[in-house]
Amino acid sequence: MIDAHEKPLSDHVALVTGGSRGIGKAIAQKLAGLGSAVAICARDATALQSTAVALRAHGDRVHLQVANVTNPLDISALVDSTEETLGPITLLVNNAGIGNPGFGAIQDKSESDWDQVLDTNLKSVFLVSRAVAPRMIQRRRGDIINISSLAGKNTFAGGAIYCTSKWGLQGLSGCMAEDLRQFGIRVSVICPGSVFTDFSGRGAKDPSKVLTAQDVAHAVAMVALQGPQSFISEVHLRPVSKP
């Protein structure tokens, strides 16, 4: 029998986009360790299979699916299959995102660069949330956690496209929160600083002066475990040591 104190998310079903590696993988493992059933999606089938092995160490309530979260048909199939396999989604983590080609001076970037970053980092959150939210509204229960960045709060040279995608995500998240809170659904946004992953960023990082993927996963767990009457709307996550 599952101990509710040791597995406080045992009655939850989480969908984590971009869940095959890096921050998404850490989030999926953290939620599984807390007892949640977990569905992950990504474009890389091999990476998904590898992560699924780690998730199944916490139990068999795991679903994986190759999906492009910028494609509405893929998203519809993902949400349907997740709920058919695991049950109603109670926790959506919009984590899928890319860095490059979002970095570089604006005069050097192409329309294709813009479309690729905005579609992945912003449009995908709209599309996946739009697919899941009506089901949560019907059940009057759910948490949506969007993984943004401190780049959504600050500007820097060479960050025009990436910052735009994250500033847009801040606005989308705030409006979603106001639209959905009347139905008992909480929308939160987590803004990490630099994280040590294979994410294509702005250059080499000193591991001692940046966050880990597990730090972000811990913040997601904190939001998921908040009391039923509380609403953590935004989390800023910084390394202790300045880069």
Known catalytic residues? 162
Q: What is the dihedral of CA 20, 26, 28, 32, to 10 degrees?
A: 140
Using CA atoms, how far apart are residues 128 and 198, in angstroms rounded to an integer? 24
Strands 37-42 and 13-17: parallel
Q: Which residues make Cβ contacts (< 8 Å) with residue 26, sequence separation at least 6?
A: 212, 213, 214, 216, 217
Is 55:40 a contact under the CB 8 Å cutoff?
Answer: yes
Using CA atoms, how far apart are residues 191 and 143, in angstroms rounded to an integer? 17
